[in-house]
Amino acid sequence: MLQRSARMWTLCVQTALIATFVQRSASLQDNLVGRLQKSYNPSELSESRFLEYSNLSDKLHLREAINNILIPRVVGTGNHSIVRQYIVQSLRDLGWDVEVDSFHDVAPIKGKLHFHNIIATLNPKAERYLVLACHYDSKYMPGVEFLGATDSAVPCAMLLNLAQVLQDQLQPLKESKLSLMLLFFDGEEAFEEWGPDDSIYGARHLAKRWQREGKLDRIDLLVLLDLLGAPDPSFYSFFQNTESWYMRLQSVETRLAKMELLERYASSGVAQYDPRRYFQSQAMRSSMIEDDHIPFLRRNVPILHIIPVPFPSVWHKPDDNASVIDYATTDNLALIIRLFALEYLLGGGEDK
Ligand SMILES: *[C@@H]1O[C@H](CO)[C@@H](O)[C@H](O)[C@H]1NC(C)=O
Ligand SMILES: *[C@@H]1O[C@H](CO)[C@@H](O)[C@H](O)[C@H]1NC(C)=O
Ligand SMILES: *[C@@H]1O[C@H](CO)[C@@H](O)[C@H](O)[C@H]1NC(C)=O
Ligand SMILES: [Zn+2]
């Protein structure tokens, strides 16, 4: 992803801490108001369910998944297809329906390239989906072995780990009208310089394709994970129409913290602004972060963007490797996201 201007970004963060920052020039938000969730409002997980679900984890699997994805995986290379096969096979082994959405496009430096988005669903015939997404390609950096731990090996591993850990709980979603989709975008990274024709290749292709096929309306909510794994992230609510879902993430975090179920939580003391929590109470109404959500946002798909602001200091540097991963933070975030997904998918009583 791209932050358009580092200086503007800093300003934006500071403003957001004082008051809600509203980007006056953007009309995107106005377009979104019309399409809000079909008033879906699942009940909060009960105390006993919350405890039961928060007990589920497989930390060893999460580390294995990260290790399997954490190799240079630039589009078009052998390692890229090894990682793709690993993701596809892991999900098929867990009984998911997996479609590989292949297409080609022309990129600077590389020329014609074959891209492959991975679309995994529990019920391919569902009417609506909660979609959790990441990108599995790594950035091409000539002369550098760039691994992209936070960008985005850790987020993708979190999704595979969710499928692994919750396999029993998710069984009913193989037949329900509301189901779960995991989306692994290809070609998020620019090859030469970030711009409308050199970035988010997979997301641009898929948003266009699903619009043509009339499938975009099936996405209840697209939750995009990016740049996760470094310590002390701060997240913000970017979009007004999904703020109630953002607040549920916050509330899951608060419940876990109260029960002391988060590891080494907020204890490092190095967070710049609010070391007490990951999901901040401030909104940041800005569309300055460009990422895989953009082509969907432009087509009025409701978005939750789980990306830290500021970005991890290792962003697009060779240091974004295994050394930067903070496993306490990574396990904590994976747990929050699992509970959020369970509340979304199973919390509501009727009409699923
Ligand atoms: C959570 O796991 C622990 C240890 O395995 C177990 O003793 C406890 O009963 C579990 N709690 C719930 C609510 O399932
Ligand atoms: C492919 O991944 C392996 C690790 O599995 C690594 O040693 C090798 O350098 C990678 N190849 C390229 C071309 O990046
Ligand atoms: C990560 O990158 C840093 C800086 O490039 C390097 O010093 C360190 O050895 C690397 N760590 C791993 C585990 O590759
Ligand atoms: Zn990147």
Per-residue pLDDT tens listing for the chain (352 residues)? 666 543 334 333 333 332 233 332 233 343 343 344 458 999 999 999 999 999 999 999 999 999 999 999 999 999 999 999 999 999 999 999 999 999 999 999 999 999 999 999 999 999 999 999 999 999 999 999 999 999 999 999 999 999 999 999 999 999 999 999 999 999 999 999 999 999 999 999 999 999 999 999 999 999 999 999 999 999 999 999 999 999 999 999 999 999 989 988 865 555 555 557 999 999 998 768 999 999 999 999 999 999 999 999 999 999 999 999 999 999 999 999 999 999 999 985 544 4
154-165 and 327-342 helices, crossing angle to 10°: 50
Q: How far is the CA of 55 from the centre of ligand 1 (A)?
A: 6
Ligand nearest to the CA of 323: 3
- What pTM value is reported for the model? 0.90
User: Which residues are known to be catalytic?
Assistant: 188, 226
> Is residue 285 within 8 Å of residue 189, measured between CB atoms?
no
Report domain extents, the chain: 2-347
The residue whose CB lies within 8 Å of the most ligand 1 atoms, and thus the one to mutate among 45, 50, 54, 55, is 55
Residue type, 296: F
Distance 314 CA to ligand 3 centre (A): 11
For residue 318, is the peptide bond before it cis, meaning its omega torsion is within 30 degrees of 0? no
Residues 168, 158: Cα–Cα separation, whole Å: 17
CA–CA–CA angle 32, 288, 184 (5° rounding):
75
Query: What integer pLDDT is reported at residue 150 of this predicted model?
Result: 98
Cα(275) to centroid of ligand 2, in Å? 37
Token representation of residue 287: 């569309």
What's the distance, CA 254 to chain centroid?
A: 20
- To test the pocket of ligand 3, the residue of 145, 323, 325, 327 to mutate (highest count of ligand atoms within 8 Å of its CB) is 323
Rounded CA gap, 132 and 136, in Å? 13
DSSP calls for 305-348: EE--SSPPTTTTSTT-SGGG--HHHHHHHHHHHHHHHHIIIII-
Closest to 336 measured CA to CA, from 328, 309, 91, 320: 328
- φ, ψ of residue 279 in degrees (nearest 5): -90, 105
Q: Is the CB of 318 under 6 A from ligand 3?
A: yes
Per-position DSSP letters for 171-182, written without gaps between them: GGGGT-SEEEEE
Secondary structure class of 193 (helix, strand, coil): coil
Are the C-beta atoms of residues 161 and 61 closer than 8 Å to each other? Answer: yes
CATH 3.40.630.10 for the 2-347 domain, yes or no: yes
Task: Return the closest-CA partner of residue 105 out of 21, 16, 198, 177.
Answer: 198
